[in-house]
Amino acid sequence: MFDRELKKGSAELMILSLVEARPRHGYEISKLIETRSEGVVRFNVASLYPLLYRLEQRGWIKGRWVEEGQRRRRFYRLTPEGRKVLAAQRHTWREFVEAINRITGAEHA
Amino acid sequence: MPDWKPEIRRRLSGLSLAPTREAEIVEELAQHLDDRYEELLRGGATEEEARRAALVELAESDLLAEELRRVERAVEQNPVVPGATKRRTNVFADFWQDARYAVRVLLKNPGFTAVAVVALALGIGANSAIFSVVNTVLLRPLPYKDPERLVTVWEENAKAGFPRDTPAVANYIDWRDQNQVFEGMAAIADQSFNLTGVGEPERLTGRLVSASLFPLLGVEPQLGRAFLPQEDAPGANKVVVIGHGLWQRRFGGDPKIVGRQINLNGENHEVVGVMPAHFQFPDPKDEVWAPIAFTQQQAANRGSHYLQVVARMKPNVSVGQAQAEMTAIAARLRQQYPEQNADLGATVVPLQEHLVGDIRPALLVLLGAVGFVLLVACANVANLLLARAAVRQKEIAVRIALGASRLRLVRQFLTESVLLAALGGAVGLLLAVWGVGLLKTFIPENISQVRSIALDARVLGFTLLVSLLTGLVFGLAPALQASKFNLNETLKEGGRDSAQGSRGNRVRAALVVAEVAVSLVLLIGAGLLMNSFMRLRSVDPGFSADNLLTMSVVLPRNKYPDSQRRAAFYDEMVSRVEALPGVKSAAVTNWIPLVRQGDSTGFSIEGRPDPAPGEGRRNVVVTRAVHPHYFRAMGIQLLQGRALDERDRADAPNVAVISETMARRHFPGEDPLGKRITPGDATSTNPDDWVTIVGVARDVRQVELAAEPKPQMYVPYAQGWSIFAPRYLLVSTSVEPMSLASAVRGAVWSIDRDQPVSDVRTMEEVLSASLARQRFSTLLLGVFGSVALLLAAVGIYGVMSYSVAQRTHEIGVRMALGAQRGDVLKLAVGQGLKLILVGVGIGLVAAFALTRVMESLLFGISATDPLTFVAIPVVLVFAGLLASFVPARRATKVDPMIALRYE
């Protein structure tokens, strides 16, 4: 259960980070997560899109349809509020990871 | 390219999304699957392989729908995310999530949940049950119009020991005519009615009342009318209003009862009204009301005090103002009638307070006691929760690490405890329903409204409030503790099961100390009551209640108008009853003991002047007009002289037997035998006015067991004591007394087949009923004390078990280093003992301060009775030791090897 929540919690952080630099669509986000984590973390449709919608509902990201010839894609960008949240989450996450590192490091020392 | 849309739509079908929204989602997801499919084809997969692999993205069939349902729902969901404090929160959604989570947590630990719910249900149920009694008896307004304006008014004669005496008629009339504070005033007098002419004769209890009584109370008869003012006068038509119960029981609810004549006390009375079923005044047993109709002679009487007076205050008049006015009027009457009214004042008592009577302190003590029981239950559950919080560290750690705020965690924990309390409250309510039924059978019957005790909306509200508060109280400690949780410490302490650290143990220890202290207070209260109850039961009443049957036989005045005829009836009755097999002896008396009623008379002693007016009252003696066999039937021991006997006829010299207290008080150092007293004029020279003392009998507790006997006198009813008409028949038997009831009744009816016989009880029952109030509070406080003791023992056991489990490693080391089992046992039990002793110390101080409120409930011992204050703590310490011994023994079974390997 906590694995799932852990993943969910960090997933939001990952998504926010990925759309920070420029707007991206869902498939792009899922590919980026998979490749950058070297396959360790993977989201499928069933878990990714609900997350995106939730972040959008909270007003942290904003989706917009963009025509690409025959088809159109929905691109998500970071909102100003989302930018603040991202900063805060990064900070907390870093602290947590450092704490874990200190502990796991101490165990080996 | 496959068309993904039908497949996606199928999975979203249960969500009932808005059509445009659904279309957007379907398009976006389909696009994703297109991308995936193309990528797979580029990687060399066949079309079929690519199609299957792309569909895997939709995962298990319901995951997508489930996840989307959460997101697309109108209410915002609370995610477990870092930085939670930065965003707007939806309190309701949070609560909903917490509640669902709490349900899951409780279901996962059925054992824990059951123990906690049972403890809480006991506490909450006891509170609701007692509160429903308090609510009915003390809080609920009386069923009359504007009941807060109704008061009773009494003569006050503190000098003679009567702070609330029944007023004399002339005083009542002066009060009524002179006051400015009351809208109306009504007089009430006791009266019993012998109903004849419709089946078996029956004696009915009722009242003579002023015609103004019913309008004053603001109640209307259900059928017919109340009394007209002109009917409240001597010589007016005989009319009565009857109770609903009587109407149903004896007249089959006859709708034409109004206008019918019924025979009461040998005279025809017209029924003018029937009161509604819920009506009772003043006593639930009253069934007949007739106009009081004072004669001129009665209206001038200031010497005979027998009325009850009810009044309705004018709007905006306070009890204090009414009291001031009545005090002023009483002062005027004192000056006007210095002889009769020498020491008389007037007291105004709200009707509710009067009807509630002396059960009030007992109820308040019990309400306090159940509050304590609930506190103990709370402490217990708090302890359980703390122990469990230790197990849940990992969960807390992850949530804090992911940024859940402290407030959010506190709220989650409080939701859990409130849910637990609500469950406890629900079960407690069931217990209360059952408990109220049980309580009803224990509450002294003379408390009005006992029958109407029930769980109403106010009790339900009380239960709900108590449950919520309870949840907050016992949930707060664990919640705060969880919120102070230190991430680093937890992780540092690693897997060892001691992450709560020493602070957690201190809180748990403090809770146990509190439990012990509160239980001790309750148990000492219970001990004091039990002690006084036993003392009360062992009071020698001065007579023998064994094998004694009592019943009421009241002769109607118009059928037996003079004392000769009455005496003849009673003599005949006694001899016929004594002729029955199984009867040892029989007698009659005006009052049997312990019914809290009686007659007394003033008297003067020959050769001693009466006190001058205003210099104090005449001597007063409790008087019983009896058949000569009274002493034999009652088993009253004679100390001096002779008992009354057959010689003491109407034409023989007047005689009396007095009690030892009367002899001691009025004839100290003298021989009372042969001395003469008179209830009348001390200067009289007529020998018929004087009564010679022929014997001294042992004191009898005539009024109640708890009251010291007053001077008493027994006179033969045959010798002109017609004002003290006998009303009780006493039958001393050699067999089980109740088995003779119908034979005795038959003997009475063989003389007069219209003579009612009522109130058939054994003297044991009378004795037991007179202790109903004491039994009620003793029993309940005993039960509450025991529940508290049990809960405290469970609490000690829990803390000790936990502590032993925590110290397994330490104990292992000690044993490896050579500690013996005895040492380990001492170590573990010693720890428990320390907690118990601290609790006992605090509890003793609290009990010392608190049991004083019980003083009025105690008999024969002080509120700080040393024996109780020593014995109860010993019991408690013993129980506590037992509770810590079990886990301590487990400690001695620790195998050092296993304990050390446990690292």
**How many CB contacts within 8 angstroms connect chain A with chain B?**
107
- Among B648-652, B697-701, B885-889, the range scoring the smallest mean pLDDT is B885-889
CB atoms B57 and A46 under 8 Å = yes
Residue B528 CA to residue B863 CA, distance in Å, equals 7
On the question of pLDDT at B485 being above 70, the answer is: no
CB atoms A53 and B81 under 8 Å = no
Report the mean per-residue pLDDT for chain B: 85
Residue B54 CA to residue B33 CA, distance in Å, equals 6
A85 vs B60, B64, B86: nearest CB? B86
HSE of B316 in the Cβ direction (CA atoms, 13 Å)?
A: 0
CB atoms B86 and A53 under 8 Å = no
Q: What percent of chain B has pLDDT over 70?
A: 91
Confidence at residue B490, expressed as pLDDT on a 0 to 100 scale: 54
On the question of pLDDT at B319 being above 70, the answer is: yes
Residue A14 CA to residue A8 CA, distance in Å, equals 10
Nearest Cα residue to B598 out of B309, B310, B190, B294? B190
Confidence at residue B84, expressed as pLDDT on a 0 to 100 scale: 43
Nearest Cα residue to A41 out of A5, A11, A9? A11
pLDDT tens per residue, range B633-667: 999 999 999 999 888 888 899 999 999 999 999 99
pLDDT tens per residue, range B46-100: 888 888 888 888 776 667 777 777 777 644 344 444 444 444 456 677 778 888 8
Confidence at residue B449, expressed as pLDDT on a 0 to 100 scale: 63
- Among B273-287, B540-554, B563-577, the range scoring the smallest mean pLDDT is B273-287
Nearest Cα residue to B883 out of B785, B814, B790? B790
A88 vs B76, B86, B401: nearest CB? B86
Give residue B403's identity as a one-letter amino acid code: G
Residue B895 CA to residue B903 CA, distance in Å, equals 14
Residues of A in contact with B394 (CB under 8 A): 2
ipTM of the complex in this document: 0.87
B403 vs A8, A44, A92: nearest CB? A92
A73 vs B31, B33, B58: nearest CB? B31
Q: Retrieve residue B878's tokens.
A: 């013993």
Residue in B with minimal Cα distance to A30: B32
Residue B87 CA to residue B76 CA, distance in Å, equals 12
Region A57-82: mean pLDDT is 88
Partners of residue B762 on adjacent β-strands: B549
- The sign one gets for the Cα dihedral B196, B198, B201, B203 is negative
- Among B155-164, B589-598, B650-659, B871-880, the range scoring the smallest mean pLDDT is B155-164
Residue B758 CA to residue B756 CA, distance in Å, equals 6
Provide DSSP, chain A.
Answer: -HHHHHHHHHHHHHHHHHHHHS-EEHHHHHHHHHHHTTTSS---HHHHHHHHHHHHHTTSEEEEEEEETTEEEEEEEE-HHHHHHHHHHHHHHHHHHHHHHHHHHHHH-
Helix (H, G, I), strand (E, B) or coil at B321: helix
Residue B387 CA to residue B381 CA, distance in Å, equals 10
CB B787 within 8 A of CB B518: no
Candidates A44, A45, A68, partner chain B, best to mutate (most B CBs within 10 A)? A45
Q: Terminus-to-terminus CA distance in chain B, angstroms?
A: 60
CB atoms A49 and B32 under 8 Å = yes
CB atoms A46 and B60 under 8 Å = yes
Taking each continuous run of H as one helix and of E as one strand, the counts in chain B are 28, 22
Residue B481 CA to residue B476 CA, distance in Å, equals 8
Q: What percent of chain B has pLDDT over 90?
A: 32
Confidence at residue B487, expressed as pLDDT on a 0 to 100 scale: 56
Sequence-separated (6 or more) residues with CB below 8 Å from residue B617: B157, B159, B160, B342, B343, B602, B611
CB B515 within 8 A of CB B379: yes
Helix (H, G, I), strand (E, B) or coil at B744: helix
Residue in A with minimal Cα distance to B56: A44
Position with higher pLDDT, B214 vs B470: B214
Partners of residue B733 on adjacent β-strands: B583
Confidence at residue B494, expressed as pLDDT on a 0 to 100 scale: 45
**What angle separates helix A2-21 from helix A80-108, to the nearest 10 degrees?**
130
Residue B589 CA to residue B700 CA, distance in Å, equals 14
CB atoms A5 and B398 under 8 Å = yes
Partners of residue B693 on adjacent β-strands: B656
B32 and A CB contact within 8 Å: yes
A46 vs B64, B86, B395: nearest CB? B64
Helix (H, G, I), strand (E, B) or coil at B559: coil
CB B832 within 8 A of CB B796: yes
- The sign one gets for the Cα dihedral B319, B322, B326, B327 is positive
Nearest Cα residue to B522 out of B776, B786, B862, B773? B786
Q: Retrieve residue B816's tokens.
A: 């490896």
Strands (E), B303-432: 308-313, 345-350
Nearest Cα residue to B590 out of B759, B714, B705, B700? B714
Residue B490 CA to residue B488 CA, distance in Å, equals 5
- Among A58-67, B238-247, B555-564, B841-850, the range scoring the smallest mean pLDDT is B555-564
Confidence at residue B318, expressed as pLDDT on a 0 to 100 scale: 94
Residue B872 CA to residue B865 CA, distance in Å, equals 11
E strand or H helix at B645: none
A99 vs B28, B77, B487: nearest CB? B487
B63 and A CB contact within 8 Å: yes
Residue with tokens 């009769």: B340
Residue B643 CA to residue B585 CA, distance in Å, equals 15
Provide DSSP, B561-617.
Answer: -SHHHHHHHHHHHHHHHHTSTTEEEEEEES--TTSS---EEEEEETTSPPPPTTS-P
Partners of residue B346 on adjacent β-strands: B155
CB atoms A85 and B83 under 8 Å = yes
pLDDT tens per residue, range B745-795: 999 999 998 888 988 999 999 998 888 888 888 888 888 888 888 888 888
E strand or H helix at B293: none
Provide DSSP, B86-125.
Answer: GS---HHHHHHHHHHHHHHHHHH-HHHHHHHHHHHHHHHH
Position with higher pLDDT, B710 vs B680: B710
Provide DSSP, B124-187.
Answer: HHHHHHHHHHHIIIIISPPSSSSGGGEEEEEEEEGGGTEEEEPPBHHHHHHHHHH-SSEEEEEE
Region B500-504: mean pLDDT is 58
Helix (H, G, I), strand (E, B) or coil at B265: coil
Residue B442 CA to residue B363 CA, distance in Å, equals 13
3-state secondary structure B26-55: HHHHHHHHHHHHHHHHHCCCCHHHHHHHHH
Region A84-109: mean pLDDT is 78
Partners of residue B230 on adjacent β-strands: none
CB atoms A88 and B71 under 8 Å = no
CB B304 within 8 A of CB B169: yes
Q: Retrieve residue B776's tokens.
A: 């009620």
- Among B237-246, B255-264, B404-413, B825-834, the range scoring the smallest mean pLDDT is B404-413
